Every structure is written in C-alpha cells, then in structure tokens.
Structure 1
Amino acid sequence: MEFQAKTSSPVALRSGFLVLPVFEKGELPAVTAAVDKACGGQISKLIKQGDVEGTLAEVCSLPQLEGCAAQRILLLGFGKKKEAISGDDFDKAIKKAAASVKSSPAKDVAVAIAEVAVKDRDEAWKARHTAKLFGDALYKVNAQKSGNGKVIALKKGFYCCDSKKTSAINSALATGTAIAKGMALCKDLGNLPGNICTPTYLSNEARKLARGNSKLTAKILNEKQMRELKMGSLLSVAAGSDEEAQLIVLEYKGGAKTAKPTVLVGKGITFDSGGISLKPGAAMDEMKYDMCGAASVLGTLKTVVELALPINLVVIVAAAENMPSGRATKPGDIVTSMSGQTIEILNTDAEGRLVLCDALTYAERFKPKAVVDVATLTGACIVALGNHTSGLYSNSDELAQKLFDAGIKAGDKAWHMPLWDEYQKQLDSNFADIANIGTPGAGSVTAACFLSRFTKSYDWAHLDIAGTAWTGGAAKGASGRPVSMLVEYLLQHA
C-alpha cells in the first residue's frame, strides 16, 4: 500500500474512506467540524444521540454523507481534546482504524489527523506510523492456501497535511511504507513451514535481495567453508539434519567507504526439534518460528535498501536445522567454536547460542562500530517479560540506550536486562571452557552471558525476541518484530 501527502480540503477529497478524529464530550477538531458543517450537522447529531463518545480507538463507520465527497466516513476516537496522547495510544487508534477500513470495499483511504497531538512526537512521526500501521494491517498470509481467498481492495492512502509540510510528510510516509514492507518479508519468512523455509531457502532469499543492487552483495558459506573456518559450534547444531547449514553474509555499502558498518546477526534455526534433547510434541509446529531472528534482520535490510539509507550495514544469518539422528550432537559432547573456546553441550535444545557464537566471532572481520544479534533464544525471556517486550542485553550502556529509545519511538519495545559478572559462573563447566546452559535461574540472562564471551572486541547488543516474534493460538502468525525497532535505530545513523 502506497501513501502520499494531500493538501486539498478533506470535504472535497474523493476517497473511499475518510478518517476523521473526534474527542470526548462531543468536541470536534476543526477538520471534523468543517465536514460536519458541510454535511448539515449529521456528525454532531450522532454525538448528541450518544452514538459516538470519542473514547480512545472508538470507531464509527458512516455511509456517504451529503455534502462530503468521500464515499464513507470513519469517526475515530482520540480521547480528551486538551491532552496530548501517548505514542502507544496513537498507534492503538490507528490500528483500529486500519482494521475497520481493511474490512471494507474501499479502494483508498484519506486520513485527516493533523490536529491530534501526540506527546513528544511531530507530524512526520504521525505520518510515518500511519503508513506503517496501515501497511502492516493489510498483511495477508495465503502463500500456501489453494485459491487466493478474500481480496483486500485497499491499495492507496492519502495523508492530509498543510502544503508547507508536503515534502517532509511524503518522506515520512515513504519511510513508514518501507518499514511495513520489511515487516512483511519478516512475516512471510517466519510463517513458512520448515519443509519449505530451509537454510538453503533462506540463502536463496538473500540472493534475491541482492540481485540487481550494486550496493548490496550476498555471500553464502557452506559447511565445508565453515569447517575451514573452524566453526565447530555452529556445525554441531546441523549435525543431525539432512539440511546443510548455511552462513549467509550480506553487505550493504550505502555510506562512506571509511565508515565502519553496523552488523546485524540473526538466528536462523529453520526448525527446532530440540535435537537429542527433544522438545515436547505440543505446539512443536511453532518451532518453525525459531528463525524469526534471521527473518527480522533480512526484513530490516529490505527496508534499508528500499530507503537507500546512506549507511554501511552487514547482515549475517546463521541458518541450520536442529534435528535428532544417529549423527546428531549428544548431551555431554564438547565442541570447539571459531573463537577457540570449547563448549560442553549439556542440552542440545540450547542450540541458538551455538550458531550465534560462531557468527558473532565471524562478525569481527568487518571491524564493526556495533553488532546487534536477534534471536528467539529462551523461553525464560517469556517468563521474565511476557509477550509484549523483547529482552535487551548489551556490553555497552550507550548502545543499549540507543536501542531502548528506538524501541520506544517505534512502538516496538525492549527492556534493558542485567548482564553482570555474577551470572557468568553459572556457565562453568568441569570439562570445557564453558557450558551451553547455566544452572537453574535467570535462563535468559545466562544465555546472553554465553554470547557475551564471544563479543569482547566490539560494542554488542542481544535482543531476545522469544516472546515477541510470533503469536500463538487462533491468531497464530509472525509479528514482524523487531524490524521497526532496528530500522529506527539505523535511521539514527543515517
């Protein structure tokens, strides 16, 4: 869905749906009052009758009103007029509007919300989030279904603004649209079943991203090349699978040649059975989502390419399938990582850190200014933070703060968790340099502590998205997180 700025009066704007704000106590913004006047007070009448109260995210859909060019009007509640709402409340309202418009036969929508004040946010932020949230709402999973199902009519959006702000608003709308496209790729990859989305499939998708773009190159390392690099930890995870592991390396050179790149590393376990430490059967199908870290960094790269950001970025995906077989790694086995550190594998279901540690060591060669890894790493993170917030760990408080702020601004939050030396001793092993799981307690923290031992040469952050990468139950599906946060972080550099 493409959005563009519109400076014409909403009253005269021909659109399939016109979204107008309303406030509590019957207070109308000037734009809504103007439409109400042109339509003979029909909106005011509905308010007096109690049909519209203006509470946050309340929606009221109206058929075409005489005097207004739009085919339909959607009244959208934003609470009290005198109070600037939070960014979260703004997002909540826009999501509700997008869902209502999506279910209609309207082919386009015009949004007139300039008079809605959002605390610490400007008009460009509102425009960006409007485009992003409408685009995300239109995402549809149907790749593996026979037939196309219901076709969504909505194709185009207009954001009503002052003529002096047209350029800035169009730029913001383009950014929001590009973020939605990156989230869509993340969802597409995450939602695919493990028999289709294999490590090789991810490699092919990476090549597609790079095709025809002189600023972007793709390099795929196979298992033979990884053995030559002594990536014994990563290869130990793939040992039980017939699918060959892949290390995917994408380099985007949009900045100055001398500028150090940011590196994003994604966990790409395309299916996680747990290996010899087999998972319970219930909901094991959701382990196709164990590559959502990889999906999110690829989605982020898609947005960066769409926007042609003037930055240097490296994306590394450690892709493998974790399966049990006669060749599979066993609990008690000891492997040697690319860094030279030996690892005692006490649980083969703690495999994400085993592929990531070699990818993080490989990242050193790019002399990065910062490295961020993204992984559905631990169920313990869900215990700690639930399904609303990603876990954030870092060896740099400055980097952690930047990611935290980016998450707040993007509406894709993470919480800064401890990474203290006291936790490191839980990873002690009698037989190797480090165990791949810690003693009971603080499982998400000790997983991050494990990764921190491979990141001493650069500023690094780890995002544990086990609770935020997908939704289970009847609404099962990938969430597209944390693409929005990562893009917001990278925009700071651009």
Structure 2
Amino acid sequence: MDFELKTLAPAAATKFKCDLLAVLVPEGVAGQDNVLGALATRAIAAGDLEGKPGKQLQLYAPAGVAARRVLLAPCGDGSPAAMRKAVQALGPALKDAGVRQAAVLFMAEPAAGAVDAALRAAADALYVYAATKSQVELPALRKLTFGVPKADAVRGEFDAARAVARGVEFAREWANRPANHATPTLLGEAAKSLAKLGPVRCTVRGPAEVAKLGMGAFMAVAQGSAEPLRFIELRYDGAGKTQAPIVLVGKGITFDTGGISLKPAPEMDEMKFDMGGAASVLGVFRALAELRPAVNVVGLIPACENMPDGRALKPGDVVTSMSGQTIEVLNTDAEGRLVLCDALTYAARFKPAAIIDIATLTGACVIALGGVRSGLFSTDDALASDIHDAGAAALDPCWRMPLDDDYAEGLKSNFADVANVAGRPAGAVTAAKFLQRFVGDTPWAHLDIAGSAWKGGAAKGATGRPVPLLTRYLLAQAAAARPQAAAKAVRKASRATR
C-alpha cells in the first residue's frame, strides 16, 4: 500500500475525484464555510452522526462533491488516540472492492502525532495476510491520499509514520507466517533482504559458528530440532564510529512446542508467534533503512525451534552459557531466556550505550498486563523513562515492572549457578531477573511482549508491536545526539582557531 500526503483544504476537497472521501470531523465543526462542513453540521444536528470516534455516516454522491462516496467520521478532540480509533473504523470501507481511489481528509490542522496515528491505523486496517493462501481478496485500493490544510507542516511526521508502517507490516508478515514458512533459515533470508534497502548490513551464522562462539544455552535449545539454528546480526550505522550503538536483541523461537516440557495442544499453533521479538527487530531495521536517522543500531536474533526430539534438552540438564555461567534447566518450556542470555552476552562486544531485548517471554506478563501494554523491566531509570515515553508517544504503550533482588531467590540451584525458572509467582519478573545476570553494567531494558505481539481468537494475527515504540525511541536518541554533536564541533573549531 502506498500513502500520499497532499495539501487539501475542505473546500478544495469537494473537487477531489475519488471513490471514497473519508472526512475526519472534529469537535466544533459547526461554522466551517464549506460543503463538507455543512454536511457534517446538519448530520450532527439531526442526530444522524454521533460525535464519538469510531462512528460513521456514509453519503452517496452528495451535491457539490466530486467523490462518489463520502464517509463522515468523527474524530473527537483530534488527539492521536482519537484519530487512531476513527481511522481504524474506516477499514471495511477502504477495503471495499469498489474503492480504487480514496482520500482521508483532515478538516482542521492536525494535532501533533495525529497524522502519524491516522496513517498507521490505516495501514493496520488495510493489511491482508496472503503469503500461504491460494486465494485471497486483496483491497482494490493501491494508494491512499491524506489531505491536510498544509502538507509541508506535517511532512516529517508523515514520512516517519509511513516508514514505521512499513516496518510494522514487515514484522506482522513474518510473525504471521506458519513455522514451516518461517524457519530460522528463512528468517535469516528475510534479514538479508533488508540489506538491499539501504545502509543495513547483515551477517547470518550457522551452528558451527555459533558453537565457536560458545553459545551453549542457545545450542541446547536448538538441539532437539531438525531445523538448523541461525544467529542473525544486523548493523545500521547512521552516526559516527565513535558513537556507541544501541543493541536490540529479539527472541527468535520460530516454533515453541515447549520441548520435553510439552505445551497443551489447544492453541499451540499460536506458538509460531514466539518469534515476535525477532520480527520486531526486523521491522525496526526496515524502518531504519528508510528513515536513516543519525544513530548506530545493532540487531541480534538468536533463531531456532524448540522441539521434543530424542536429542532434546531434558528437565534437569545443566548447560553452559556463553558467559561461562551454568544453568540448570528445570523447565524446557522456559527456552526463550536460554537463547537470549547468550545473545545478551554477545551484545557486550559492541560496547553499547544500551541493550534492549524484546521477547514473547512469559504467560505471566499476559496475566499481569493483558494485551494493552508490554511489560518493561530495566536496570536504568533514564533508559526506562525514555522507552516509556516513546511508547506513549507512539500509541504502543508499556508499563514498568519491578526488578527487586529478592525476586531472584527462586532462581537458586543446587546443581548449577542458576536455574532457568523460579516457580509461578511473579513469573515475568523472575524471567527478567534471570536475563539481568547476563548484561553486566550496561544500561539494559527488557520488553516482555507476550501479551502485545499478537491477538488470538477471530482476530488472530501478529500486531507488529513494539516496532512503533522502538523506532520512536531510536529517533528520539538521534535527535538528542544532534545538539551534543553540534556543541562538540563548535568546541573543536574553537580550539583550531586559537
């Protein structure tokens, strides 16, 4: 889907020829001296159009309007959250087979973040999974125009939103694919494809190379599967070599049976989504390739299956991680932390400014936060605050959870340095405490996206979260670094003239 931004005032929009003109009607529309404003005012006064975001009124070929259909869509106070709800509700109309050309019109100057929210909501609504279907109805719509009073005023926001939408789509697409169409090998190929889009480099390592690195915990999880593991490394160098990178680590379990600690059969098919963290890292790099911010980013994805083969890891086995720490595996279904711990150790070689891991890690986080917010754990208050603020701004929220040392008591083992589980109480927290052992003093954050990475039931499918949160965070870091770089350049120039 292509998106276009156009300067289009309400009066001019009446002459815009298209199959569907969706008009975002703000509070206080009364008094607008144009055909569309008058239509909305009369509909509201007659009680035919409620003012709540998500409500709609469709009109066919109204007098004075070139569009074949007009859809009046209230957007409340015009806030990003209200705008998202209003545009999400446009999905069925935009996907109608008779709609080949469409436009979404902002009747007033959009609030900060409103264009971003509207574009991404439209992209989400228009996404259709087709990779493994022999027959699928794709929307006839190929380009969606967003009309605003002054396009130049929101051009930067629009371009960023479009890039993030493409990153979200990339993440959703790979998370949605069945495990036999998204093996570790195929995930590596998806990562390599990103290197063709811009300044992204990719290295994919196989079992022999991972063995040389000493990633014993990662290899132990993979040993029960016929599919060979892959360790994917992505590099985006948008800033100078002296700037420490931010490392993103995504859990890439392409299918999780639970291993010998086998999961129940109902809904096990959804364990194809257990690589949601990996998919989000791929999505972020898809956005970076287009946005090209002045920041250095490394993406690490340990990818494998967790299967109950005769060679599979057994409860009670002790494995040695890349860090040298030994781990007693009390539950083979707690495998995500085993692949992540080696990737976290590997991340230290980049001397990063921060490490953020993203993982569909625990059912306990789903119980705690549901599907609304991702769980955020961090050893650094400033990092946690930046991530939280980025999530709020991107409408991709998270919530900070505790990391008290007392939670680690349950991870003690009589037979190894640490156990991989600590029982049911506070399971999301104890999982984070396990990962914390492998990050040293580097500022670190862990996002548990088990509740936010996908939806079940009739709406089953990946969400692409937290691509918006992570991209917004990286863009903010790039923006914060610009004044520092400028000040450094001034000091250098001043010294040179002395």
Deviations 1:229-286 (A, max 9, x none): 1110100100111111111001111211211111110000001011111111111111
Shift of the 7–42 alpha-carbon distance from structure 1 to 2, 3 Å rule, reads closer
Shift of the 42–307 alpha-carbon distance from structure 1 to 2, 3 Å rule, reads closer
> Cα offset for 1:114?
4.9
Does the CA contact (< 8 Å) of 1:336 and 1:343 recur in 2?
A: yes
Q: Which amino acid aligns with 2:54?
A: A
> Cα offset for 1:177?
1.3
Query: Residue in 2 aligned with 1:301?
Result: 285
Does the CA contact (< 8 Å) of 2:23 and 2:107 recur in 1?
A: no
> Cα offset for 1:167?
2.6
How far apart are the structure 2 equivalents of 1:29 and 1:231?
A: 65
Structure 1 residue corresponding to 2:67, chosen from 65, 70, 80: 70
Q: Which amino acid aligns with 1:113?
A: F
Query: Residue in 2 aligned with 1:219?
Result: 203
Query: Residue in 1 aligned with 2:488?
Result: none
* Partner SS, residue 106 of structure 2: coil
Query: Residue in 1 aligned with 2:52?
Result: 55
Does the CA contact (< 8 Å) of 1:270 and 1:290 recur in 2?
A: yes
Shift of the 351–68 alpha-carbon distance from structure 1 to 2, 3 Å rule, reads same
Q: Which amino acid aligns with 1:108?
A: Q
> Cα offset for 1:42?
5.0
Q: Unpaired segments of 5 or more residues in structure 1? A: none
Does the CA contact (< 8 Å) of 2:376 and 2:384 recur in 1?
A: yes
Query: How many aligned positions are there?
Result: 475
Shift of the 173–116 alpha-carbon distance from structure 1 to 2, 3 Å rule, reads closer
Equivalences for residues 375-386 of structure 1 within 5 A: 375-386=359-370
How far apart are the structure 2 equivalents of 1:415 and 1:61?
A: 39
Query: Residue in 2 aligned with 1:87?
Result: 80
Q: Which amino acid aligns with 1:74?
A: L
Shift of the 29–150 alpha-carbon distance from structure 1 to 2, 3 Å rule, reads farther
The answer to whether residue 149 in structure 2 is matched with residue 162 in structure 1 is: yes
Deviations 1:462-491 (A, max 9, x none): 000101111111211111111111111111
Deviates further, 400-409 or 70-79: 70-79
Q: Which amino acid aligns with 1:261?
A: P
The answer to whether residue 345 in structure 2 is matched with residue 361 in structure 1 is: yes
How far apart are the structure 2 equivalents of 1:115 and 1:66?
A: 22
Q: Which amino acid aligns with 1:62?
A: L
> Cα offset for 1:207?
1.0
Query: Residue in 2 aligned with 1:128?
Result: 116
* Partner SS, residue 112 of structure 1: strand
Q: Which amino acid aligns with 2:70?
A: I
Shift of the 212–151 alpha-carbon distance from structure 1 to 2, 3 Å rule, reads closer
Query: Residue in 2 aligned with 1:150?
Result: 137
Q: Which amino acid aligns with 2:170?
A: L
* Partner SS, residue 250 of structure 2: strand
Deviates further, 1-10 or 309-318: 1-10
How far apart are the structure 2 equivalents of 1:374 and 1:43?
A: 44
> TM-score, normalization: structure 1?
0.92
Structure 1 residue corresponding to 2:24, chosen from 21, 42, 51: 21
Shift of the 382–116 alpha-carbon distance from structure 1 to 2, 3 Å rule, reads farther
Q: Which amino acid aligns with 1:177?
A: R
Deviations 1:193-230 (A, max 9, x none): 111211111111111111364x2211112111111111
Query: Residue in 2 aligned with 1:487?
Result: 471
The answer to whether residue 371 in structure 2 is matched with residue 387 in structure 1 is: yes
> Cα offset for 1:430?
0.9
Q: Which amino acid aligns with 1:15?
A: C
Q: Which amino acid aligns with 2:56?
A: V
> Cα offset for 1:172?
1.8
> Cα offset for 1:13?
2.3
* Partner SS, residue 468 of structure 2: helix
Q: Which amino acid aligns with 1:354?
A: L
Does the CA contact (< 8 Å) of 2:217 and 2:338 recur in 1?
A: yes
Does the CA contact (< 8 Å) of 2:359 and 2:447 recur in 1?
A: yes
Q: Which amino acid aligns with 1:197?
A: A
Structure 2 residue corresponding to 1:334, chosen from 318, 321, 325: 318
> TM-score, normalization: structure 2?
0.91
How far apart are the structure 1 equivalents of 2:45 and 2:152?
A: 39
Does the CA contact (< 8 Å) of 1:238 and 1:322 recur in 2?
A: yes
The answer to whether residue 125 in structure 2 is matched with residue 141 in structure 1 is: no
How far apart are the structure 2 equivalents of 1:42 and 1:329?
A: 67
How far apart are the structure 1 equivalents of 2:205 and 2:73?
A: 51
Q: Which amino acid aligns with 2:55?
A: E
* Partner SS, residue 195 of structure 1: helix
Query: Residue in 2 aligned with 1:477?
Result: 461
How far apart are the structure 2 equivalents of 1:226 and 1:36?
A: 62
How far apart are the structure 1 equivalents of 2:346 and 2:155?
A: 39
Query: Residue in 2 aligned with 1:190?
Result: 175
Does the CA contact (< 8 Å) of 2:103 and 2:146 recur in 1?
A: yes
Does the CA contact (< 8 Å) of 1:5 and 1:169 recur in 2?
A: no
Deviates further, 1-10 or 242-251: 1-10
> Cα offset for 1:43?
4.6
Deviates further, 42-51 or 345-354: 42-51
Query: Residue in 2 aligned with 1:201?
Result: 186
Give structure 1 regions of 4+ aligned residues with deviation exceeding 3 angstroms: 21-24, 41-49, 84-87
User: Sequence identity of aligned pairs in percent?
Assistant: 45
Q: Which amino acid aligns with 1:233?
A: A
Deviates further, 375-384 or 125-134: 125-134
Shift of the 466–36 alpha-carbon distance from structure 1 to 2, 3 Å rule, reads closer
Q: Which amino acid aligns with 2:66?
A: A
Deviations 1:271-312 (A, max 9, x none): 101111111111111111111110011011101101122221
Does the CA contact (< 8 Å) of 2:106 and 2:149 recur in 1?
A: no
Deviations 1:30-87 (A, max 9, x none): 55x51247xxx555444444221222321111111121122221111234xxxx4553
Shift of the 168–370 alpha-carbon distance from structure 1 to 2, 3 Å rule, reads farther
Does the CA contact (< 8 Å) of 1:391 and 1:464 recur in 2?
A: yes
Does the CA contact (< 8 Å) of 2:94 and 2:126 recur in 1?
A: no
* Partner SS, residue 476 of structure 2: helix
How far apart are the structure 2 equivalents of 1:107 and 1:288?
A: 34
Does the CA contact (< 8 Å) of 1:343 and 1:433 recur in 2?
A: yes
Deviates further, 300-309 or 9-18: 9-18
Q: Which amino acid aligns with 2:22?
A: V
